[in-house]
């Protein structure tokens, strides 16, 4: 059996919508279908759109504002699907399912402490109304992938490692899949081991603090450090780097996941303030932050894959030359870093492709979490179905 699926992703960097159209082919005797990426589309957010999303990260944001943006983002996602289908020449009748990750607003899998001292149940909230997507596209939608894993005692993240295992695992070679988005995450795939042996977790901050620092430094005139050019001209402040590396999240063992709640605007503002407090110029601030991101990734990888592995990278952070140079140095790599493009997966769209894959697996009645990675009590069928036809 062969069919088409579309994946939608809006990440923690809040830069735009990634949409990917893929073709999946079932294989007899295997729970992992073959995948071929047909077409991809990036729809950047305008400044007013970004501001509207960022306003929801404010603890004082109203429920009414959240509800409006939930529906509005559903419309944005549906428009991206329509544009992608028009671009690729595929009709809605040809697409079996849309997998929409949505836009994460809150991620507290361990719950929150309430005013009376009790801890709330764990939760993760993504917006982008799947019913709106389904109604506007007339295609079935699978969304809300994280909730079932959290209900089963897991972190609800990371979920992409299931896709990493299905597509990139090898019986002969140790491999590490790295994604540098707003948050960085790794999937360690020792050669020849079954999926339940996969080690995967969020390593900590990625582009989120680098982009945030750039906005602070430029008073909002620039949203990111192009190719890491500003960072390349600065000096790493080693005492600060050592201090930042003692963050409690970085010391914890997987399963673990994180997000804007821990490494968001307030955290970034504090790091920039500390750097300026010791006399750092703008270039030194970015240089030290870039080294910090690289060290958190490298330390995490080396804790589980000490040597001899191939590293395959994806995500917007791969375009930051300074970051990738630091990472290569800290890992002591003897092999060049590969792009997932070598396996037919465009690095800028890997997560969108992954959620198309997860949605297809939902339609086939398959589980799609890796319990060792998320901490769930066992395999679960992830997602919520919204019929479009």
**Looking at residues 343-352, what average pLDDT do you find?**
96
- One domain, residues 85 and 226: no
- One domain, residues 126 and 209: no
**Model confidence, pTM:** 0.94
- One domain, residues 258 and 214: yes
- One domain, residues 114 and 201: no
- Pairing mode, if any, of strands 338-339 and 310-314? parallel
Q: Identify the band that residue 264 occupies on the pLDDT scale cut at 50, 70 and 90.
A: very high
- One domain, residues 147 and 192: no
Task: Flag whether 67 is in a domain.
Answer: yes
- One domain, residues 194 and 312: yes
CA angle, 186 then 111 then 99, to 5°: 50
- One domain, residues 154 and 190: no
299: closest CA among 251, 257, 231? 251
- Is 115 a residue whose pLDDT tops 90? no
- Domain of residue 262, residue span: 170-336
Q: State pLDDT tens for residues 143-193.
A: 999 999 999 999 999 999 999 999 999 999 999 999 999 999 999 999 999
- One domain, residues 243 and 145: no
- One domain, residues 46 and 140: yes
**Looking at residues 293-317, what average pLDDT do you find?**
94
- One domain, residues 14 and 155: yes
State the CATH number of the domain containing residue 244.
3.30.420.40
Q: Identify the band that residue 217 occupies on the pLDDT scale cut at 50, 70 and 90.
A: very high
Output the CA–CA distances (angstroms, integers) from residue 103 to 130, 156, 173, 247, in the order listed. 12, 14, 35, 26
319: closest CA among 229, 201, 380? 229
Task: Flag whether 343 is in a domain.
Answer: no
Contact 55, 61 (CB under 8 A): yes
Give the up-direction half-sphere exposure of residue 157: CA atoms within 13 A in the CB hemisphere. 25
- One domain, residues 315 and 366: no
Total domain count for the chain?
2
Task: Flag whether 363 is in a domain.
Answer: yes
- CA separation for the pair 131, 9 (Å, rounded): 16
Gap between the terminal Cα atoms of the chain? 20
Contact 291, 326 (CB under 8 A): yes
- CA separation for the pair 21, 6 (Å, rounded): 5
- One domain, residues 129 and 148: yes
Question: In 3-state terms, what secondary structure has residue 326?
Answer: helix
């Amino acid at each position: 059996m062969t069919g088409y699926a579309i994946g939608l992703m809006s990440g923690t960097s809040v830069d735009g919508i990634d949409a990917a159209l893929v073709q999946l082919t079932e294989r007899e005797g295997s729970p992992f279908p073959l995948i071929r990426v047909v077409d991809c589309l990036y729809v950047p957010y305008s400044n007013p759109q970004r501001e509207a999303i960022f306003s929801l990260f404010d603890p004082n944001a109203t429920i009414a504002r959240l509800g409006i943006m939930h529906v509005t983002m559903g419309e944005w996602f549906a428009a991206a699907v329509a544009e992608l289908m028009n671009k690729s020449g595929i009709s809605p009748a040809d697409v079996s399912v849309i997998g929409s990750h949505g836009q994460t607003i809150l991620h507290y899998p361990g719950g929150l402490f309430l005013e009376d001292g009790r801890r709330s149940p764990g939760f993760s909230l993504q917006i982008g109304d799947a019913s709106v997507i389904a109604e506007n596209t007339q295609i079935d939608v699978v969304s809300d992938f994280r909730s079932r894993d959290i209900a089963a005692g897991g972190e609800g993240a990371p979920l992409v490692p299931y896709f990493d295992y299905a597509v990139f695992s090898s019986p002969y070679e140790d491999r590490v899949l790295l994604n540098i988005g707003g948050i960085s995450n790794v999937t360690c795939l020792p050669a020849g081991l079954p999926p339940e042996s996969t080690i995967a977790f969020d390593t900590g901050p990625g582009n989120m603090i680098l982009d945030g620092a750039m906005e602070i430094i430029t008073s909002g005139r620039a949203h990111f450090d192009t190719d890491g050019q500003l960072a390349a001209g600065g000096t790493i402040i080693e005492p600060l780097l050592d201090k930042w590396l003692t963050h409690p999240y970085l010391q914890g063992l997987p399963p673990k996941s994180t997000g804007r709640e821990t490494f968001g605007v307030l955290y970034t503002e504090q790091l920039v303030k500390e750097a300026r407090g010791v006399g750092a110029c703008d270039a030194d601030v970015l240089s030290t932050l870039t080294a910090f991101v690289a060290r958190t990734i490298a330390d995490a990888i080396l804790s589980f894959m000490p040597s001899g592995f191939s590293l395959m990278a994806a995500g917007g952070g791969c375009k930051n030359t300074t970051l990738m140079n630091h990472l290569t140095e800290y890992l002591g790599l003897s092999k060049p870093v590969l792009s997932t493009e070598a396996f037919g997966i465009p690095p800028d769209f890997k997560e969108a492709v992954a959620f198309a894959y997860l949605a297809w697996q939902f339609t086939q009645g398959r589980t799609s979490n890796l319990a060792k990675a998320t901490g769930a009590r066992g395999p679960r069928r992830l997602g919520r179905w919204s019929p479009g036809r």
